[in-house]
Amino acid sequence: MSQFYLIMDVGGTKSTGALFTKDGELVDGYAHVVQSQTYHGEEAVYQNTRKVLDDVISHFGISADDVIGIGVGAPGPLDQERGVILEAPMMGWKNFPLAERLSKDYGKPTRIDNDGNLGALAEHRCGEGRGFANVMYMTVSTGCGGGIVINNRLYRGRHGGAGEVGHVSIDLMGKACPCGSAGCVEMYASGTALVRQMKADMKDGLKSEVFELAGYQEENLNGRTLTQAAEMGDAYALDLYQKEGYYLGVALANYFNLYDPDVIVLGGGVTKARTFFHREMVRVLKERCLQPVEENQIRYSILNDRVVLYGAYCMIHDYVTNRNTTQN
């Protein structure tokens, strides 16, 4: 009898596979992580996706017959209803029928969605947003993304693009964004934005422990060296994180004013350094928000880098359950 859900998070840098029980338990707490085969063409990336799922099946000594369904977090934009990746340049996927391919190869129902939506779904069901009807999720990592739950339902919008929190403008005359707009949150608050600023400042001759730790090599400038310098009390690093708090505070105020959520859950690699920017972020948020904001309305993900896996489980579990109910 089928008793497991096969789950995967397809990322630009790494891809992760896992097995979940019918009740939503991550089996053995195990997640299989491999490097993504980006820029190798659509078929090579797809075969790598299959290999991750096959490796999970092999690891647990089960067969496809033991699998109820497959849930996948994938790069967007995508058409969730048709299961098609509309465009993912790093993967070489354009109008790629990922759900159909996987469903055909494994003989199981398959659903896909983007990581922002799945992050919001996971936090609402299993994480820091559990028990609240209105939840926003924002990931602050290489880029900035997110998802929205309104009245206990994931809100996708007309074209499935709701929750693109990284592309809310916080400076109309600001930095040009690849999306075509200017002043987007992602251009100021993402991990990529922090690294870009460090590279520019090092080139301009600014002095900081960050640059000492990096050996004045651009490739060594990252969140780890920035946090290490901040822990040493370096003024430059602390100031950069203060600015991070400011930009996030402005962004969160916009989200609160627009959606008035019960909670906003923050995740992603940059939030690991929240000690250095949380206070400034909350100060700016409260200053700019029209309604009162309680401290406990801002939360940090406890699901961390497995948030998409949990969201993908919730998605395919809901789909299979609803389908079975309809058929009965």
Specify the pLDDT at position 182: 92
pLDDT per residue as tens digits for the range 83-121: 999 888 777 888 999 999 999 999 999 999 998 999 999
| Distance separating alpha carbons of residues 289 and 256, to the nearest angstrom | 7
pLDDT confidence of residue 178 = 86
Tokens of 324: 């079975």
Q: How far apart are CA 306 and CA 8, in angstroms?
A: 10
Which residue stretches of the chain have pLDDT < 70?
1-2, 38-39, 328
Instruction: Confirm whether 4-114+306-327 and 128-301 share one CATH topology.
Output: yes
What are the structure tokens assigned to 286, written together?
């409260």
Query: From residue 149, how far is each of 73, 262, 279 by CA, in Å?
Result: 17, 10, 26
Nearest to 138 by CA among 254, 227, 24: 254
| Domain locations along the chain | 4-114+306-327, 128-301
Q: Over the Cα atoms of the chain, what is R_g? A: 20
pTM of this prediction exceeds 0.85? yes
| N-to-C CA span, the chain | 18
Task: For residue 213, give Cα distances in angstroms to 210, 224, 232, 290.
Answer: 5, 10, 11, 42
What per-residue confidence (pLDDT) applies to 163? 87
Q: What is the per-residue pLDDT for 13?
A: 76
- According to the model, what pLDDT value does residue 328 have? 63
Q: Omega before 77 cis (within 30°)?
A: yes
Instruction: Give the model confidence (pLDDT) of 224-278 as tens digits.
Output: 999 999 999 999 999 999 999 999 999 999 999 999 999 999 999 999 999 999 9
What's the pLDDT score for residue 310? 97
**pLDDT for the residue 2:** 66
Contacts of 67 (CB under 8 A, 6+ apart): 2, 4, 5, 6, 57, 106, 108
Residues in the chain: 328
CATH code for the part of the protein at 4-114+306-327? 3.30.420.40
**Whether the Cβ atoms of residue 323 and residue 290 lie closer than 8 Å to each other:** no
DSSP 80-141: TTTTEEEEETTTTEEEE-HHHHHHHHH-S-EEEEEHHHHHHHHHHHHSTTTT-SSEEEEEES
The class of domain 128-301 in CATH terms is alpha beta
Within 10 Å of residue 21's Cβ, how many Cβ atoms? 13
